[in-house]
Structure 1
Amino acid sequence: MQTQTVTRSIESDLEPGGLYDILAEVSNIPKWAPVFADAIERVNDTYYRITKNGETFNLEVFLHPSAGAVDYIREMPNGRRGGAYLRVMPRPLGGSTLTMTVPIGRIQLNSKLRSSLNRNSPTLSSSRNFDHPRPIMRNAHDSWHNSNR
């Protein structure tokens, strides 16, 4: 079976509600996943137009607050839809765990990419101030964006 997705989990000192709010606000994507979007234009309540490196694509967002779930589903050139599936869960002693699953392109399924993804696990700011967060995803979004043009 060929691997089609990559899943990573991280822990954060941010409480689940605060982390969920950051992820649910689509305009925050360039702050925590700058490789995915340079600009975001709201089309309506669930649809957005994303610009990255001068190219645009559509994004649909599904929010499930009671489940701590945020799903970003995008159009892909092959007529399929794929996306990033995020889940925010509470940690037993405070803070959150964030799990993200994203598709990866078949061209980039070599061991070099896998080891890069493992080395560059997502990082999230433990600061409660979201003005200067560190990106939480680098390579997974990069491979998602670049492999689906």
Structure 2
Amino acid sequence: MGLVTDEVRARAEKYTGDELCREKTKEFLKEVSMPNGLLPLKDIEEVGYDRQTGIVWLKQKKSITHKFEAISKLVSYATEVTAQVEVGKIKKLSGVKAKELLIWVTLNELVLEEPISSGKINFKTPTGLSRTFPVSAFIVPEVEKPAIEKNNVKEAVAVTDA
């Protein structure tokens, strides 16, 4: 039985569409004090989050492989990624693998070891092996959207109507 049961789906917040899903993914990562670039998925079709149990799922059109440049690591994300989240921890993770030497290793838990601003994050496998990396390797700078002043918009509209 998977994490995402009918009961979980029924009470979860669900979002569709790539842009909204990317935004919601970053929001829930921030909510649980995890770095915003941890799940760099593309063409996301659905994101669900059940706050009661902490269960999260993300569905994307196709699996992707992402290289985290700061640590030179390849990570593969399946078409469906599921996990149970809490502050500073992602556990029961499925759908994520990291390349170590010549093999792909399944990841099942991520634990923040220190505060996000200056800390480290520990990646664990089902076999008990783990690796620790700086949190900074998984943070994507936020891009502020420029505010549009109402006066400028009115002036532009007046010019095009004339």
Higher relative contact order (CA 8 A, sep 6+): 1
* TM-score when normalising by structure 2: 0.34
* TM-score when normalising by structure 1: 0.37
Q: Of Structure 1 and Structure 2, which has the larger fraction of its residues in strand?
A: 2
Task: Report the structure number with the largest CA radius of gyration.
Answer: 2
